[in-house]
Amino acid sequence: MYSDFLNQKFLGNSIESYLWFMGIIVAGLIFQQLISTFISWCLYKVFKRYTLGVSLKEFQDLLTKPFRIFVILLILFLAFDRLEFPHEWNLDPAEKPGVRMTVFLVFEISLMLSVTWIILRLIDFFGLILMKRAERTATKADDQFVPFIKSGLKIFIFLLSFFSILANIFHINVVALIGGLGIGGLALALAGKETVENLFGSVTIFLDKPFTIGDHVKTGNIEGFVEKIGLRSTRIRTLDKSLLTIPNKKMIDAELENVSLKTMWRARFYLGLNYNTTPDQMKKITGEILVFLQSHMMIKDNPVVRFSAFNNSSLDILVIFFVLTNDGDKFTEIKEEVNYKIMEIVEKHNGSFASPTTNVYIDNKGSTKNS
């Protein structure tokens, strides 16, 4: 009795086939999260000895979603494998263009893309491991090397997947296709000229190392810290905390100053005292400022402190010194310390700073004269 019921057919399929179809779909939807999590856990255990600094949660955050898509596709395959297209629809076979072929192509492409996604996420995972290791080294070269290699591998896997789809799913002769591009390939190459130039720029940056991640750089009117060096562009966090993306071609073509490679910072300014300052005061003030600069442990030997000029409204003292640091913030701190000390020295010797003034003379006839 039950056997007769289950063998009844609708649209070319038995009730038993429909029940299997529904059972696989329901079970798959219920357990797909658990299955994908379990697969990622097993894979993490395989790579656990290499996962220095990367937790299971980080691994699952990367892999669980692509595994879930892969599992859902397999569940759909197993479910629909229980059913057949109704003969009444008179569909063309899978070898001919039509509904059957379209369905199979969409499934195969989706499965290939899901596998590609998993591989790309695995590359991200190993890149994360290598970055954790790079953070423990003193050199910054590996911090730059890891993102470069990771991006290159991703592009290679993407292209490999694309050509695999053409060759295995659409049965296209990829070698003949590439060889037959001809003028079209030349036009494509010209269209991608900027991309190629930026790619060579990234290679130049990697080999020549004019800067690395974390360096303080200046190029044109842009100044900031390098956050990322990619295959196409470099990201710089400016001093006002904006994030700029600059093509690598511009980074190697323009004049670039790596501020982080400075061995010292130079300070040069004029100190203006008023004309009431006596020669004796001037000598004592310049002498004491010079002694202070020479004794400062962060200031290079041979600073310059000289009475340099008679300005319109001030007696000018030229001050030049070098601070032994490559840190701009530290330089500003030392310069502030020097400025406060100069104020103390000038006040100690009863001097005063000059400010722009205009003298007005009135003669007996009432006319005025400025000076």
Q: pLDDT per residue over 234-282, tens digit each? A: 889 988 888 888 888 888 887 888 888 888 889 999 999 999 999 999 9
pLDDT at 98: 63
d(CA 101, CA 93): 7
Whole-Å CA distances, 99 to 10, 104, 107, 167: 20, 9, 12, 21
- Please say whether the beta carbons of 325 and 298 come within 8 A: yes
How much of the chain exceeds pLDDT 90, in percent? 20
> CA-CA distance, 66 to 126, in Å (whole number)?
16
Give pTM, 2 decimals: 0.56
Cα–Cα distance, 22 to 228 (Å, whole number):
49
Q: Which residue has the higher pLDDT, 359 or 67?
A: 67
Q: How many residues does the chain have?
A: 371
Residue-level pLDDT at 95: 62
Whether the pLDDT of residue 310 is over 80: the answer is yes
371 closest CA partner among 310, 360, 276: 360
Contact between residue 228 and residue 147 where contact means Cβ atoms under 8 Å apart:
yes
Rounded CA-CA distance 246/229 in Å is 10
Query: Could you tell me which of 156, 154, 141, 148 has the C-alpha nearest to residue 234?
Result: 148
Task: Give residues with Cβ within 8 angstroms of 111, minimum separation 6.
Answer: 70, 73
**Worst-scoring range by mean pLDDT, 63-67, 228-232, 268-272?**
228-232
Q: What is the pLDDT of residues 277-298, one digit of tens each?
A: 999 999 999 999 999 999 999 9
Summary mean pLDDT of the chain = 80
CA nearest 299: which of 307, 309, 308, 289?
A: 289
More confident residue, 312 or 80: 312
How many Cα neighbours within 13 Å face the side chain of 90?
A: 0
Which residues in 324-337 are b (16+ Cβ under 10 Å) and which e?
bbbeeeebeebeee
Q: How confident is the model at residue 6 (pLDDT cuts 50, 70, 90)?
A: low
| Cα angle value 4/7/8 (rounded, 5°) | 90
Instruction: List, in order of start, the domains of the chain with CATH numbers.
Output: 2-178 (no CATH), 193-261 (2.30.30.60), 265-348 (3.30.70.100)
